[in-house]
């Protein structure tokens, strides 16, 4: 029989139960026992689902309290010294991830570790910190406890473990001149101990994930794999697991490793299948990740069956069927969606449905005639969609075709625009602002939800939103900020809001996906060609501007970020979707500036995230991504100042493309990295204005005036002070007003102090 498994399942619960349990604990409103019970219930439900679908293995060790890389750090006893305080426990994990474990824990409030994107996804991980004195020992029993629990009611349990080389590679050195790869021998000793414990628990197979094998690795890293897997070899069989791109270029090294099987992602890189099969060692199993774990489209099981049948005949029981990657990147359960139109609902498949897809496909491969018939019937809606007449819109396609003949440039260069903008805006040295969103209180969310349920009329909703906006403007003026925002009370999410106001998208009720910790996002789905039917933000921004004489920023989300943070169509290119979005946003920019909004921020936090994993594919992506942003801003007059925001990104490899965006002001995250990210802008001599984030909004810690001054001064060593802005490193939606006002007051005080120093 064909072996079936998944690489991981969402940890948040069907209705974000983990999110709410975490936040109650962090606020001090519940204890660890209640938190752990919620987690236990989620894990048991996940295992029951896999067992009920008769998967060959249930997967354990895929649960994480905050992030699975951080969980690996605790498993290895590898905690930054500033957070180490005896044997690591759950509060240790939260201190590393967010700076505090609870709001009133009496903790030191040391800075959280750096956070960045997990490859080219919208998931974030906590970056391990490495120094020459580091040691590793098994110190966190969660993995082994979960295996024990899963074994109670299930047949075979397959644990998940982040591989040693990926763990090292995804971290950073905190010691100058130190090479973290030299820590590998010490790290392998800890992995030997982990595998010995797994063997004692009766584990037959372990899924060791080495996703960095899909990258173009430096030779010292790639060459280290052979030694590493010789050293950690045990009686537990190893399924070497890769995903997100092809590993064909690393295959010469991979096929020499002391492992027992290989998992590849053929949803992301179908072209690698033939190459891998041809060179697969005779004794290895091949796990084919054919069910896409990163998108919500129903699988064409009939087509996949035709693709895999020759492979089944060749490999027999050595062929395993699986999801392409962990299903943590997918919403949990399509069955919860009661408001999706029937005409589109049967196009989709969420995590729960993908588990079923794996099993039906395997049964059909094994010759089950009922399963073959089911696969054909199941695939029919997605096949019929290709012929749908309302998915493709001739007018949109005509406008995109015309766009291909332009370059998207502004009407004047930056050196000319900046004079117009200074004359109109009259901002001081080191102008202060925020990134856009302000705290979303329970009252804000309840009002928005009531309007969405049609419990209140638009006039009542508008009155309430105006009151929230007025309150936000007054609070900003009280802190002394120079450039204000309306606070985005009307927005549930920076992408979903636009998806709800553009045609061509489908939104969901419960399509939540974990971003990190308790932070979840609800990506919309691109189902058809995209266009703007009416203005989306103008009324809210112009109302806010009417309340103040200070400049008010209009807030838009950029085309690449909307693309990256939604589930895209699979029948058109990502470039096509980005161009459609850019044209819709260009129309919005025109309406905003015509309504008197002189600063417009077009956020692109995902532009680095969208970068393909292979360097050879970078240029093509960056060319169209940059052009899409430029097109969205192309209608801006010289006196209209265009801002953009990027967060948690390494800019060095794309700095020339960031400059090519030609935004008048770019704001970036730099506080967690202690301004390290500014090195890229200094070495490149970035020509426009920059707002390096001076405090970490993901931590409840309130930055002191001295701390902020220190960071601004460090930034001024790299960037001319006349081109510096002062701002937090991201939006303030997740913080409360008390933290926000205290932090912003300190930010404004620091900027005013330094104006005197630099003037």
pLDDT along the chain (759 residues), means of 10: 97 97 96 97 97 97 96 96 86 91 62 89 94 95 96 90 98 95 98 98 98 97 97 98 97 97 97 97 97 98 97 97 98 96 92 98 98 97 86 92 85 95 96 94 93 94 97 97 97 93 95 94 95 97 98 97 95 96 97 97 90 93 96 97 81 83 89 67 82 82 91 89 93 91 96 93
Using an 8 Å Cβ cutoff, are 560 and 629 in contact?
yes
Please give the pLDDT value at position 104: 55
Is 698 noted as a catalytic residue in this protein?
A: yes
Evaluate whether residue 680 is within a structural domain. Answer: yes
Please give the pLDDT value at position 649: 58
**504 — alpha (psi -120 to 50), left (phi > 0) or beta?**
left
**Domain shared by 223 and 259, yes or no:** yes
**Domain shared by 338 and 484, yes or no:** no
**Domain shared by 512 and 375, yes or no:** no
Nearest C-alpha neighbor of 689 from the set 712, 662, 670: 662
- Distance between CA 525 and CA 523 in Å, rounded? 7
Secondary structure of residue 517 in the 3-state scheme? coil
Evaluate whether residue 179 is within a structural domain. Answer: yes
* φ, ψ dihedrals at 666, nearest 5°: -120, 130
- Distance between CA 184 and CA 240 in Å, rounded? 18
User: Residues forming the annotated binding site for L-homocysteine?
Assistant: 435-437, 488, 603
Matching residue, tokens 């974030």: 124
- Distance between CA 560 and CA 567 in Å, rounded? 12
**Domain shared by 155 and 230, yes or no:** yes
Q: What counts of helices (H) and strands (E) characterise the chain?
A: 27, 21
**Domain shared by 736 and 613, yes or no:** yes
Give the neighbor-by-neighbor strand order of the sheet with 553-557: 553-557, 599-603, 641-646, 665-668, 689-692
**Domain shared by 372 and 434, yes or no:** no
Nearest C-alpha neighbor of 479 from the set 752, 251, 97: 752
**Domain shared by 376 and 432, yes or no:** no
Evaluate whether residue 391 is within a structural domain. Answer: no
β-pairing verdict for 157-162 and 129-130: unpaired
629 CB contacts (<8 Å, ≥6 apart)? 558, 559, 560, 582, 602, 604, 607, 644, 661, 663
- Distance between CA 579 and CA 612 in Å, rounded? 18
Nearest C-alpha neighbor of 436 from the set 661, 693, 709: 693
User: Residues forming the annotated binding site for Zn(2+)?
Assistant: 645, 647, 669, 730
**Domain shared by 317 and 185, yes or no:** yes
Evaluate whether residue 350 is within a structural domain. Answer: yes
End position of a domain, from candidates 350, 385, 420: 385
* φ, ψ dihedrals at 116, nearest 5°: -150, 175
Evaluate whether residue 419 is within a structural domain. Answer: yes
Please give the pLDDT value at position 109: 62
User: Residues forming the annotated binding site for L-methionine?
Assistant: 435-437, 488, 603
User: Residues forming the annotated binding site?
Assistant: 16-19, 117, 122, 435-437, 488, 519-520, 565, 603, 609, 645, 647, 669, 730
Evaluate whether residue 401 is within a structural domain. Answer: no
**Domain shared by 310 and 431, yes or no:** no
Using an 8 Å Cβ cutoff, are 695 and 708 in contact?
yes
Evaluate whether residue 435 is within a structural domain. Answer: yes
Evaluate whether residue 436 is within a structural domain. Answer: yes
**Domain shared by 321 and 465, yes or no:** no
504 token code pair: 């061509």
415 token code pair: 């050196």
**Domain shared by 196 and 345, yes or no:** yes
| CATH code for position 448 | 3.20.20.210
Helix (H) / strand (E) element for 560: namely helix 559-564
Taking every pair of Cα atoms in the chain, the longest distance, rounded to a whole number of angstroms, is: 81
Nearest C-alpha neighbor of 277 from the set 264, 290, 267, 268: 264
Please state the domain count of the chain: 2
Residue 536 C-beta-side C-alpha neighbours within 13 Å = 25
51 token code pair: 């067992």
End position of a domain, from candidates 316, 350, 385: 385
The whole domain housing 608 covers 412-758
**Domain shared by 342 and 474, yes or no:** no
Please give the pLDDT value at position 717: 87
């Amino acid at each position: 029989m064909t072996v079936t498994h998944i690489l991981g399942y969402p940890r948040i619960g069907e209705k974000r139960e983990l999110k709410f349990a975490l936040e109650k604990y962090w606020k001090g409103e519940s204890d660890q026992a209640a938190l752990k019970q919620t987690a236990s219930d989620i894990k048991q439900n996940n295992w029951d689902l896999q067992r009920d679908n008769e998967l060959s293995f249930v997967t354990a060790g895929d649960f994480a309290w905050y992030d699975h890389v951080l969980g690996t750090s605790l498993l290895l006893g590898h905690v930054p010294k500033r957070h180490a305080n005896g044997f690591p426990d759950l509060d240790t994990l939260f201190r590393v991830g967010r700076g505090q474990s609870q709001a009133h824990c009496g903790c030191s409030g040391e800075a959280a570790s750096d956070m960045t994107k997990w490859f080219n996804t919208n998931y974030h991980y906590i970056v391990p910190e490495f120094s020459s004195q580091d040691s590793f020992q098994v110190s966190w029993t969660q993995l082994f406890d979960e295996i024990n629990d899963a074994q109670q009611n299930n047949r075979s349990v397959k644990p998940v473990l982040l591989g040693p080389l990926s763990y090292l590679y995804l971290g950073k050195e905190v010691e100058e001149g130190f090479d973290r790869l030299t820590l590998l021998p010490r790290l392998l000793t800890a992995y030997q101990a982990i595998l010995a414990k797994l063997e004692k628990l009766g584990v037959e197979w372990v899924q060791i994930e080495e996703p960095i094998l899909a990258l173009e690795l430096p030779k010292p890293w790639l060459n280290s794999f052979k030694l590493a897997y010789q050293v950690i070899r045990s009686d537990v069989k190893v399924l070497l697991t890769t995903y997100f791109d092809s590993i064909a270029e690393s295959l010469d090294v991979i096929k020499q490793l002391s492992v027992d099987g290989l998992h590849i992602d053929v949803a992301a890189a179908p072209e690698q299948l033939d190459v891998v099969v041809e060179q697969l060692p005779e004794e290895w199993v091949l796990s084919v990740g054919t069910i896409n774990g990163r998108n919500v489209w129903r699988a064409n099981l009939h087509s996949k069956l035709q693709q895999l049948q020759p492979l089944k005949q060749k490999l027999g029981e050595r062929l395993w069927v699986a999801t392409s990657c962990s299903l943590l990147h997918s919403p949990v359960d399509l069955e919860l969606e009661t408001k999706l139109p029937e005409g589109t609902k049967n196009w989709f498949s969420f995590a729960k449905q993908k588990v079923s897809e794996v099993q039906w496909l395997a049964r059909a491969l094994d010759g089950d005639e009922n399963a073959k018939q089911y696969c054909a019937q199941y695939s029919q809606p997605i096949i019929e969609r290709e012929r749908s007449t309302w998915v493709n819109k001739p007018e949109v396609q005509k406008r995109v075709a015309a766009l291909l003949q332009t370059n998207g440039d502004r009407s004047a260069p930056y050196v000319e625009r900046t004079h117009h903008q200074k004359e109109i805006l009259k901002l001081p040295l080191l102008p202060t602002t925020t990134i856009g969103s302000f705290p979303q209180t329970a009252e804000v969310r309840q009002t928005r939800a009531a309007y969405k349920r049609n419990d209140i009329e638009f006039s009542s909703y508008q009155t309430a939103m105006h009151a929230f906006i007025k309150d936000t403007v007054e609070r900003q003026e009280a802190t002394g900020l120079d450039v204000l925002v309306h606070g985005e009370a009307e927005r549930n999410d920076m992408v979903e809001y636009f998806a709800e106001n553009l045609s061509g998208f489908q939104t969901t009720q419960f399509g939540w996906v974990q971003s990190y910790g308790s932070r979840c996002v609800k990506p919309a789905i691109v189902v058809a060609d995209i266009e703007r039917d009416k203005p989306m933000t103008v009324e809210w921004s112009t109302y806010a501007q009417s309340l103040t004489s200070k400049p008010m920023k209009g807030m838009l989300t950029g085309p690449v970020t909307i693309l990256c943070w939604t589930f895209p169509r699979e029948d058109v290119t990502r470039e096509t979707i980005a161009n459609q979005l850019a044209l819709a946003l260009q129309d919005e920019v025109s309406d905003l500036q015509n309504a008197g909004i002189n600063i417009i921020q077009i956020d692109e936090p995902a532009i680095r995230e969208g970068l393909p994993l292979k360097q050879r594919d970078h240029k093509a992506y960056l060319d169209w991504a940059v052009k899409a942003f430029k097109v969205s801003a192309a209608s801006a007059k010289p006196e209209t100042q265009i801002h953009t925001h990027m967060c948690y990104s390494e800019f060095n490899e794309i700095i020339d493309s960031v400059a090519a965006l030609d935004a008048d002001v770019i704001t970036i995250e730099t506080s967690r990295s202690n301004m390290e990210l500014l090195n890229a802008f200094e070495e490149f001599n970035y020509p426009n204005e920059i707002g390096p984030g001076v405090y970490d909004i993901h931590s409840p810690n309130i930055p002191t005036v001295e701390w902020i001054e220190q960071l601004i001064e460090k930034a001024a060593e790299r960037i001319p002070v006349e081109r510096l802005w002062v701002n937090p490193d991201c939006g303030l939606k997740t913080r409360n007003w008390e933290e926000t006002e205290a932090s912003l007051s300190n930010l404004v005080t620091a900027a005013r102090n330094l104006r005197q120093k630099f003037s």
